[in-house]
Amino acid sequence: MFNRNFAALILFFMDRIKVYDKTFVPYIPHDELMGCIDKVAEEINRDYAGAEDVPVVLCILNGSIMFTGELMQRLNFPCQLVSTKMTSYVGTSTTGEVKQTMPLTASLKGRRVIVTEDIVDTGLTLVALKKILEEEGASDVKICTMLFKKDAYRANEKIDYIGKEIPNRFILGFGLDYNELGRNLRDIYVLED
């Protein structure tokens, strides 16, 4: 998929970008994203103030790397970073099937876990992930997402921390991708109508 013509795959225009065959327009600027992360960090810091254990921040790769990195810089209690990789998307659509493509990087037995997601839409990934974390013996699981598509959500899992609710539209940037491109964009873009 990647080749030496990478520069030709993402074309920047004045107010839009083209990735492969899709055109995206600006949607959420970087400063607004930082404000959302500040808000979530304040809530988490309040809830974990005085923690005597070391909670785990579980980064769901690859999409939530940027969000998790920014969030961790704002947390004011000792925490451990653990990762796993879950996939369910191909192109702009969910396959409806969630796979864990990389195992957890540490044991979570008896640990409190804060799951960090870039975006929650249908909730299928959360249902599969909660099952994995129960099997791993996590003592408590909180869900934290940068973005939440409330209209697309079909699961019953509680979302504990939400940076921003957005409509059910396809977006990329700041960790979110379209066929593995666009994650490095500072702002978030939305698929042009």
> Is residue 87 classed as helix, strand or coil in its secondary structure?
strand
Please confirm, yes or no, whether 118 is among the known catalytic residues.
no
Q: Which one from 21, 121, 140, 193 is the annotated catalytic residue? A: 121
CA distance 191 to 18: 10
CA distance 66 to 186: 10
Q: How far is CA 81 from CA 16, 62, 104, 132, 136, in A?
A: 35, 14, 11, 17, 16
Active site residues: 121
